[in-house]
């Protein structure tokens, strides 16, 4: 079975009927007592009991709320239209919220694809779409969402590395791709409970404290190496351009030894972390 709509009677007209019935029954009891007419008293008491029984059938559905109706354990239907309703007093009415909810998951300690311990947490935005599945397919759909969110997060964290190169999807660099994968896996896991995942994203991501220092030093070293590589590539290009311009414009002719000296001096100036101090040669003294 799947969710189906259930028709109800508008509550206001039925409330007027119950009030009139209650008033008539009360009047019958009073008149029967005053005139000593047992039949009138009995009918009045029956009317009061009937009015009290009918009052059980009234219920209210709030905006983005619903009531699942059951008749002696059998699913009858779901009422989603907001307002004041009346249904069979024998119906049991189970509320199911259709509002958008946010699950702020706890921080979990898991291992990434490389086996490094990391701390990770997620935020999941979800909503009930099928009240039948949410009510009867699982024991407690709220607890089910929480448990499956934790399971899906652990699985997603284990199939991606914390950090990687430009061609590898990693938890730190590819947050959009990781969030999409997490949302798709959550939707697959929570579909039997009638829950739709609107958004899933990482709210916390860090190395575990026991390896955080070592991993920070490794990231710093990788950043220094990458920066040095760019500096050297730029310096080589500038030296090559300088030598090409000198030869093309015939500004000065250099032999191989002087070219090597010039290249060495330029590389020192361009790649040094500190400002180079030039030595000026003003000529040679002859005694």
Please tell me the total count of domains within the chain.
3
pTM: 0.69
Which pLDDT value is given to residue 287?
A: 47
Buried b (16+ CB within 10 A) or exposed e, 77-113: bbbbeeeebbbeeebebeebebeeeebebeeeebebb
Report d(CA 10, CA 13) in Å as an integer. Answer: 6
Instruction: Note whether 199 and 222 are same-domain residues.
Output: no
DSSP helix/strand/coil, 228: helix
- Tokens 């709220």, located at residue: 142
CA dist., res. 84 & res. 45, Å (int): 27
> Are residues 26 and 42 both part of a single domain?
yes
> pLDDT (tens digit, 9 = 90+) per residue, 171-225?
888 888 999 999 999 999 999 999 999 999 998 888 877 765 665 666 666 666 6
Mean pLDDT (the chain) is: 83
- Flag whether 282 is in a domain: no
CA 4 to CA 68: how far, in whole Å? 10
HSE, side-chain direction, 13 A CA sphere, residue 159: 11
Furthest-apart CA pair in the chain: how many Å?
153
Do both 193 and 109 map to the same domain? yes
Per the structure, the complete domain to which residue 68 belongs is given by 9-95
Bridge partner residues of 206 (DSSP)? 119
The domain boundary, picked from 39, 61, 95, lies at: 95
Q: What is the DSSP string of 144-162?
A: HHHHHHHHHHHHHHHSS-S
Q: What pLDDT was estimated at residue 188?
A: 92
Residues of the chain with pLDDT under 70: 165-166, 211-226, 235, 246-259, 261-263, 265-287
Q: Are residue 118 and residue 166 in the same domain, yes or no?
A: yes
Strand 67-71 with 101-104, pairing: unpaired
- Bridge partners, 109 (sequence order): 119
């Amino acid at each position: 079975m799947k969710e189906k709509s259930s028709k109800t009677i508008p509550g206001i007209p039925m409330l007027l009927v119950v009030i009139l019935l209650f008033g008539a029954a009360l009047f019958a009891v009073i008149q029967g007592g005053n005139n000593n007419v047992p039949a009138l008293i009995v009918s009045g008491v029956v009317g009061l009991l009937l009015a009290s029984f009918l009052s059980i059938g009234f219920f209210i559905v709030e905006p983005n709320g619903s009531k699942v109706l059951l008749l002696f354990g059998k699913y009858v239907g779901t009422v989603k239209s907001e307002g004041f309703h009346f249904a069979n007093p024998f119906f049991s009415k189970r509320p199911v919220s259709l509002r958008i909810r946010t699950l702020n998951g706890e921080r979990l300690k898991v291992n990434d694809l490389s086996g490094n311990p990391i701390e990770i947490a997620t935020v999941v935005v979800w909503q009930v779409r099928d009240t039948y599945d949410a009510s009867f397919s699982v024991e407690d759909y709220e607890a089910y969402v929480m448990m499956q969110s934790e399971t899906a997060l652990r699985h997603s964290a284990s199939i991606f590395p914390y950090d990687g190169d430009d061609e590898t999807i990693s938890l730190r660099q590819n947050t959009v791709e990781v969030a999409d994968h997490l949302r798709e896996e959550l939707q697959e896991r929570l579909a039997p409970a009638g829950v739709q995942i609107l958004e899933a994203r990482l709210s916390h991501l860090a190395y575990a404290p026991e390896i955080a220092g070592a991993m920070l030093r490794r990231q710093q070293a990788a950043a220094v190496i990458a920066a040095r590589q760019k500096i050297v590539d730029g310096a080589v290009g500038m030296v090559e351009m300088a030598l090409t311009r000198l030869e093309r414009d015939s500004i000065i002719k250099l032999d191989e030894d002087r070219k090597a000296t010039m290249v060495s001096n330029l590389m020192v100036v361009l790649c040094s972390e500190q400002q180079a101090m030039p030595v000026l040669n003003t000529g040679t003294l002859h005694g």
